[in-house]
Structure 1
Amino acid sequence: MEPLSVTVTTRSGHAVVRLRGEIDIATADAFRSALDSAVEHPAVSSLDLDLGRVSFIDCSGLRVLVGVRRAMEDKGGTVRLIRRSPAVERLLSAAGLDERLHVPPSHVKVPVPAA
């Protein structure tokens, strides 16, 4: 199991959250907490999530993604998934959310490094 690492950078109303590791029932609260801090910041109107180094994600992580999208939309902001690992891609596709969670056309799919 690879522990979850979350880095948040905020500048000029824009937050970028970079994640690395596994998002599951054990790490979903830490994931949610990092995203809530960015969403609740009054100056943040756009949030980019870099999920290119997420090696595993389950439905608890998916629930956090959907929740943060709703929270940002409620405050008039946007969420973009700027990179998605194959694990994230599979889960979003299986859940039918791959087109609903915004991804810029130039997003990069990043291979997960071997363990």
Structure 2
Amino acid sequence: MESLNVTVETEPRRAVAHLRGEIDLATAELLKTSLDTMIEGPSVSALELDLSQVSFIDCSGLRVLLAVKRSLQRRGGTLSLAHLSPSAERLLTAAGLDDHLVECARGRGPLAPA
């Protein structure tokens, strides 16, 4: 099992989290805690998750993504997923959430500016 690593780039009102590793039952709480900490204050209203290095994601990770999106939306913020790994894209498509969660241009190119 591969652990999860979260690195963050912040700008005024925007953060980009680069996720690397597996998002599953064992690491979902770490992801939720990391993302909740980033969006707790009023300073971040747009959060982008770079999933290019996610080797595996299951429904535990999906629940975290949906919870963070709802939390941001309640405050008028946005969550965008970018650079989907094949594993992330398969799960989102299978769950029928690819259009619901992927607000970036499905791109595997540079991160979209805020």
Fold in common (TM above 0.5):
yes
Q: Whole-Å Cα distance in 2 between the matches of residues 17 and 32 of structure 1?
A: 12
Q: Deviations over 1:54-90 (max 9, x none)?
A: 0000100000000010001000001111211000000
- Percent same amino acid among aligned pairs? 53
Q: Is the 8 A contact 1:23 1:57 kept in 2?
A: yes
- Counterparts in 2 of 1:106 and 1:97: CA distance versus 1, 3 Å: closer
2:52 aligned residue: 52
RMSD: 1.3
Distance (whole Å) between structure 2 residues aligned to residue 25 and residue 32 of structure 1: 11
Q: Give the length in aligned residue pairs.
A: 109
Distance 2:104 2:19 in 1: 18
AA matched with 1:22: E
Counterpart of 2:11? 11
Structure 1 outlier segments of 4+, above 4 Å: none
Match of 1:68 in 2: 68
Q: TM-score scaled by structure 1?
A: 0.90
Q: Any unmatched runs of 5+ in structure 1?
A: 110-115
- The runs of 5 or more residues in structure 2 that have no matched partner are 110-114
Q: Which amino acid aligns with 1:96?
A: G
* 1:98 match: 98
Cα distance, 1:41 vs structure 2: 2.2
Q: Is the 8 A contact 2:83 2:106 kept in 1?
A: no
The match for 2:112 is none
8 Å contact from structure 2 (residues 84, 106) kept in 1: no
Letter in 2 for 1:26: A
Q: Distance in 1 between matches of 2:64 and 2:106?
A: 24
